[in-house]
Amino acid sequence: MSVIVNVIGLIIFLAIAVLLSNDRRAINKITVAKLFALNIFVGWFLISFSIGREFIVAVGEIFTSIIAIAYEGVAFALPNWVNVPQMNFVTAALLPLLMIVPLFDILNYVGIMPFVIKWIGRGLSFVTGAPKFESFYAVEMVVLGNPDVEAVSAEQLKKVSNRRCVTLAIMSMSCVSAAMIGAYTQMMPAEFILTAIPLNVINALMFAHILFPVPVTPEEDDAVFIVKADEEKLPFFNFLGNSIIGAGKLVFIVTCMVIAFVSLAKLINAGLALINPAISLEAALGLVMFPFAWLLTPDTAEAFQLAQFMGTKLVTNEFVVMLQAQPMMENFSRHLQCVLTVFVTSFANLGTVGILLGTFNGIVDKDKNELISRNVKYMILSGILVSLMSAGIAGLFTR
């Protein structure tokens, strides 16, 4: 029964996107069909196929080892923060970023990450028929996250058509920085975090092409998909110092956002309690998201709990939900652990809309900015549908 409901859910998520599409006649059905088939294959391979599971375990162990090394650096400076029975959120999840962010920046500096991004993007375009630059951008946004992906691709964003720029903005809602994966794996099951990453890449590309389809000729795609001329690099230690400072700012920003969002949610709940003690922000959001949560897990009690987490994530961020869910994860069924973890593994929330509007405003011209602003609804809808589809596909193979 649950499998049938999950399959129906996947169909409904696709149907919603088609129904609300900006131009249904322009949808490339072959490309969408290929992306959906690739989605199913990736979900099955990573969860149900032994080699896929072993790959996920191996990648998870790499991140675990990196984080363990990062803790040694934290312990050197702050031993009383690490050598305790239970580390606090900042120590456990965020301080390791002071090593992980520079590590990924170094991989970019020496050219390893750009090489990987380039060829995975081209491979994705070859398999699915999606435009090369959009495929490249989808892979790039997983490694860099917002707003770095837009900054790195600024020259291409200036050259693409106005409507194509909207498609890229819609895709950006499902970003997740590779440097943040280590933090996520400290709070949620690593196997599902790592499964969510490729599914989000494919789904971001698929839903952007359904919700805001833009036909791209091969000549236009080739003209935009160019390798940016090499710029003079900063001296390595100058570059490394800037990277570490940037990581420190990121830790501070995330800490401030979590404190602010949790405090505001508590304040709203306190205000709602004056009206009726039974009313809460989580309960209200749960009612809105319940039908979609039920399509992911038809157990009513699990669905309502999942719905509250889903709603909270969309109006706050993934860290708030991960902190709330972490103490309860052992009590959840494996299926609920899967769909919840995959759903929250992205930057898709209302705050990201503001970040993207500000980022694009600093890169592209007025006409493109105005068109993006008029289509914010598609950005929000894409973020929700990508998270739902990724969770639905992962849950389909997890029992």
Going from the C-alpha of 279 to that of each of 268, 275, 282, 287, the distances in angstroms are 10, 8, 9, 11
CA distance 183 to 370: 35
- pLDDT tens digits for range 100-153: 878 878 887 888 877 877 788 888 888 888 888 888 888 888 767 776 677 667
CA distance 307 to 154: 37
Going from the C-alpha of 295 to that of each of 14, 350, 371, the distances in angstroms are 13, 23, 33
pLDDT over 70 at 227, yes or no: no
CB 323 within 8 A of CB 258: yes
This prediction has a pTM of 0.84
DSSP 326-339: GGGGGGS-HHHHHH
- What six digits make up the tokens of 306? 């999942």
For residue 36, what pLDDT is reported? 95
Total residues found in the chain within this entry: 399
DSSP 64-98: HHHHHHHHHHHHHH-HHHHSSSS--HIIIIITTHH
What confidence tier does 294 reach under pLDDT thresholds 50, 70, 90? Answer: very high
For residue 13, what pLDDT is reported? 96
pLDDT over 90 at 203, yes or no: yes
- Please report how many Cα atoms fall inside a 13 Å half-sphere around the Cα of residue 49, on the Cβ side: 11
CA distance 197 to 176: 8
For residue 231, what pLDDT is reported? 55
**For the chain, percent helix, then strand, then coil, each to nearest 5?**
80, 0, 20
pLDDT over 90 at 179, yes or no: no
pLDDT over 90 at 303, yes or no: yes
Report the chain's C-alpha Rg in angstroms.
Answer: 21
Lowest-confidence region among 121-125, 299-303, 370-374: 121-125
Stretch (H or E) spanning 316: none
Residue at 65: amino acid letter:
S
C-alpha 263, offset from chain centre: 24
For residue 226, what pLDDT is reported? 54
**Helix/strand/coil for 189:** coil
